[in-house]
Amino acid sequence: MRQVGLSISRQEIICAETAAGPNGLVVFGASGDLVRRKLLISLFRLFQHDLLSEHFYLLGIARTKLSDEQFRRDAQQAIRQKSPDVSPEYLEEFTDRLYYISGDYGDMSLYAAIAPKIAELNLKHHIDGSLVFYLSVPPFLYGTIIEQLGMAGLSCPMKPDLKSNIKLVVEKPFGKDLQSSMDLSEKIHRCFDESQVYRIDHYLGKETVQNILMFRFANAIFEPIWNRNYIDHVQITIAESVGVEHRGSYYDKSGALRDMFQNHMLQMLTLAAMEPPISFEADSIRDEKVKLLRSIRPFRPDEKTSFVRGQYTEGLINGKKVPGYLAEPTVGPDSKTETFVAAKLFIDNWRWKDVPFYLRTGKRMAAKDTEIAITFKSVPHSMFSSMGLDIMPPNVLILQIQPQEGILLNFQAKRPGSKSCISTLTMNFSYEELFGTEAPEAYERLLLDCMLGDQTLFTRQDAIEAAWRLLTPIMESWEKNGSVLYQYPAGAESFPAANELIESDGRKWYKLLRS
């Protein structure tokens, strides 16, 4: 298969970016891994691009005892790992806006200290009450922190006009099933209106995930064929070459269905399959995503042919021997937790009736690869049968999310030379090659949108509940009746049971793209 590079001779670029206004960001779990790896560098890059107001501060809250200066030194070290060439003076200008308080999340005295500190920093940085509370902590602490914020008078604003100035950001998972999701929502809504809640799914902040909307709805040539009349099937893949790493204790209670499928996989599905929104407004887009989730054909709890579960064993990744899941630190030696899930589902609406969607996600796979592959129907009659081409390969459109961010389109064309020489060509659009830069970190987009009050890329509660309503019967059946847990070696492209899910329909998984 030959690749054809894509070039642009005339660019019409429409860029609209709004800088955040004055904001205070209060981060719980500020000494944690997410803050050091993602949030600090994302905020710093917003600062570099003049998208943070000069009236901004970050107040870190965590159990670990640190002074303001220690927190700033740690932040500088974390930022330099991603931006080693930044000048010390410029970095210090940013970290001078960072502050820190330590304490126990359940101790009222911590919040008694937070309240006057926020008032002091609001006055110092000229911020009129615009606050973002970011919960970068384990989900079991959400309820405790939210309740304490309310008791300290830091949330539940009494004046309606202040409500929009106070926001709450929570990381996934949003519950572990339908009931726990509803319970969490009830706790949040005691002090925060849904309009104040920003549920982060970092996949929605990825440039190429956002591009699905632009690609579908800004081009007239694709939408007319984006339906059951022209599309044979759709494959969505999130493959990871890494194992559970340091997340073993969390992952063993979660598994691939909860950790990846309920959120990332279904969110990508909604963007690929939803109906056109009436406008590029948050509620218009989120309304269509909820409609799509509610259109997915319910799974029967005893369904045997729609889901495949797997767990990786010892194997090779890039020629290096790696342990199996049961040998990972903090994983139970007899764990039945799945590290791979493949599923076949249908969307019961006019556009997608009887078009199969095949979804798969797994750890310790042969390569890191996230993509949506849309396979169009084959030509109804081949006029090239005399050349031995009774069946022509279908056209395939691949939306690549990571690590190669771009779009590929496979189509048939004549090659130079022989009269009867046809081959499959790939038109390849790469973000990095075309624009000369890597895509921004997903958290840059999400943090900026939160400070601006734009909820387009954040998940609404009714969408969370629709996803859990779909999957909870499957999880309950697995826990009650058990389910076959297949084993696959680390570094595998796939394994027989996962292949059978799609091959029984006369189709095949696309090979994982190598970076």
What domains can you pick out in the chain, each with its CATH number?
23-171 (3.40.50.720), 204-503 (3.30.360.10)
- Cis omega (within 30 of 0) for bond into 403: yes
pLDDT at 26: 97
pLDDT at 385: 63
CA 189/CA 41 separation, integer angstroms: 31
pLDDT at 4: 45
Residue type, 360: R
Pairing of strands 320-322, 315-317: antiparallel
CA 432/CA 429 separation, integer angstroms: 9
Q: Are 354 and 228 in contact (CB under 8 A)?
A: yes
CA 303/CA 265 separation, integer angstroms: 20
Cα radius of gyration rounded to whole Å, the chain: 24
pLDDT at 16: 67
Listed in sequence order, the residues at least 6 apart from 54 whose beta carbon sits closer than 8 Å to its beta carbon are: none
User: Over the stretch 412-465, which tens digit does the pLDDT of each residue have?
Assistant: 777 666 666 677 777 887 777 777 666 678 899 999 999 999 999 999 999 999
Q: Is the pTM of this model over 0.85?
A: yes
Strand partners, 310: 340, 486
pLDDT block averages, 10 residues each, the chain of length 515: 47 69 95 92 94 95 95 95 90 96 94 94 91 91 90 70 77 89 90 91 83 87 93 97 87 91 93 93 93 93 81 94 94 93 96 97 95 90 63 86 85 70 76 70 91 92 95 89 90 95 94 70
- Written as six digits, the tokens of 154 are 């830091």
HSE of 121 in the Cβ direction (CA atoms, 13 Å)? 26
Choose the catalytic residue: 126, 233, 264, 381.
264
Any catalytic annotation for residue 264?
yes
pLDDT at 173: 82
pLDDT at 1: 43
Residue type, 85: D
On the 0-12 / 13-18 / 19+ scale of CB atoms within 10 A, 189 is middle
